[in-house]
């Protein structure tokens, strides 16, 4: 655990230097990577650790975005609005978890997939509060320049990613993480050994919701304008899963690495194959998952110098 924490501190410190490049392109890409890192790490709590294939990331993201936006529209300060989004996602995950986590496997996946749709329709119809299909404008933070704003949101996402990572690490090396591993491998056996499976699963689901909710709110403030199809996009769920699987769900670093590699590939492929980039990207992912089912991090275990590491 200490080794993981030290590596993480080094990585996050290095990433924190990115704004020094002064390139707004890299800053934007970095902010996006960190945001997706938060989504992938969050999915890992329920999908990786507990083994429940959740598609609820988009629901938490949209809920967070709209909670933050509406709160700011009603006059709440930006920082408080973000916290409020986290709390809303946390509470929503608790309620949703108690209901949905009774389902297993495909049934849970489908049920969690529908949640984002329901929220999207709800937000669409609550026109007075959310602006409905017209979307919602957010106040632009009072800062000197556009560049200063970009730097500010980069650090906001970095802080959130660090927080999510810390939560992952603490969970992984705790009784909660251990119990989740038991559930992932054999839920009825875990039940028999005295694991309060419902409580543990709901806790994992809440952890998978809270940081995504905040990320949604930060995103909303960052882009100044949100509309339902944008923030309740099912691709947030799908990408988070693909990233986590790509990096490897077994480790705390996997999802973060997956987010960076996925977005890197996306940028690269998009530039080289302008016409067919989604197809090429899809193919690449299929190949990676086929030949590296345990994710990119499993590669490190094949290197000779890595054998000695636990």
Binding site for another protein (CB under 8 A): 174-175, 178-179, 181-182, 185-186, 188-197
Pick 171 or 221: Cβ nearer another protein: 171
Measured in whole angstroms, the distance separating CA 152 from the mean position of its chain's CA atoms is: 20
Pick 252 or 259: Cβ nearer another protein: 252
Pick 56 or 190: Cβ nearer another protein: 190
In the complex, least distance from residue 164 CB atom to another protein, rounded to whole angstroms: 22
Pick 21 or 174: Cβ nearer another protein: 174
In the complex, least distance from residue 189 CB atom to another protein, rounded to whole angstroms: 4
In the complex, least distance from residue 54 CB atom to another protein, rounded to whole angstroms: 21
Per-residue 3-state assignment (H helix, E strand, C coil) for 127-153: HHHHCHHHCEECCCCCCCCHHHHHHHH
Radius of gyration from C-alpha coordinates of the chain: 19
Pick 213 or 295: Cβ nearer another protein: 295
What is the distance between the alpha carbons of residues 258 and 241, in angstroms, rounded to a whole number? Answer: 10
In the complex, least distance from residue 245 CB atom to another protein, rounded to whole angstroms: 17
Which tokens belong to 46? 């329920």
In the complex, least distance from residue 165 CB atom to another protein, rounded to whole angstroms: 21
What is the distance between the alpha carbons of residues 40 and 257, in angstroms, rounded to a whole number? Answer: 10
What is the distance between the alpha carbons of residues 151 and 147, in angstroms, rounded to a whole number? Answer: 6
Contacts of 120 by beta carbon, 8 Å cutoff, 6+ apart: 62, 228, 229, 232
Pick 224 or 294: Cβ nearer another protein: 294
In the complex, least distance from residue 187 CB atom to another protein, rounded to whole angstroms: 10
Pick 84 or 249: Cβ nearer another protein: 249
In the complex, least distance from residue 57 CB atom to another protein, rounded to whole angstroms: 25
In the complex, least distance from residue 171 CB atom to another protein, rounded to whole angstroms: 12
């Amino acid at each position: 655990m200490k080794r993981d924490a030290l590596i993480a501190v080094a990585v996050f410190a290095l990433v924190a230097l990115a704004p020094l490049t002064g390139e707004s392109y890299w800053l934007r890409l970095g902010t996006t990577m960190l945001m997706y890192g938060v989504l992938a790490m969050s999915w890992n709590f329920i999908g990786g650790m507990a083994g429940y294939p959740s598609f609820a990331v988009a629901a938490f993201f949209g809920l967070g975005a709209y909670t933050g936006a509406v709160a700011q529209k009603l006059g709440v300060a930006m920082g408080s609005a973000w916290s409020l989004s986290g709390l809303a996602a946390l509470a929503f995950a608790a309620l949703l978890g108690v209901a949905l986590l009774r389902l297993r496997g495909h049934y849970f996946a489908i049920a969690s997939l529908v949640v984002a749709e329901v929220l999207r329709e709800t937000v669409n119809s609550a026109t007075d509060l959310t602006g409905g299909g017209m979307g919602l404008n957010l106040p632009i933070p009072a800062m000197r320049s556009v560049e200063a704003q970009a730097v500010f949101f980069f650090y906001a996402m970095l802080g959130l990613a660090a927080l999510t990572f810390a939560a992952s690490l603490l969970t992984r090396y705790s009784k909660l993480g251990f119990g989740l591993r038991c559930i992932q491998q054999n839920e009825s056996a875990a039940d028999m050994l005295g694991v309060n499976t419902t409580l543990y699963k709901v806790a994992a689901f809440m952890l998978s919701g809270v940081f995504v909710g905040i990320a949604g709110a930060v995103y909303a403030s960052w882009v100044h304008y949100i509309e339902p199809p944008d923030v309740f996009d099912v691709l947030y769920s799908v990408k988070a899963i693909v990233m986590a699987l790509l990096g490897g769900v077994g480790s705390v670093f996997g999802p973060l690495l997956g987010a960076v590699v996925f977005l890197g590939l996306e940028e690269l492929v998009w530039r080289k194959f302008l016409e067919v980039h989604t197809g090429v990207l899809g193919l690449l992912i299929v190949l990676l998952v086929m030949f590296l089912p345990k994710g990119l991090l499993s590669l490190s275990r094949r290197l000779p110098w890595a054998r000695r590491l636990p």
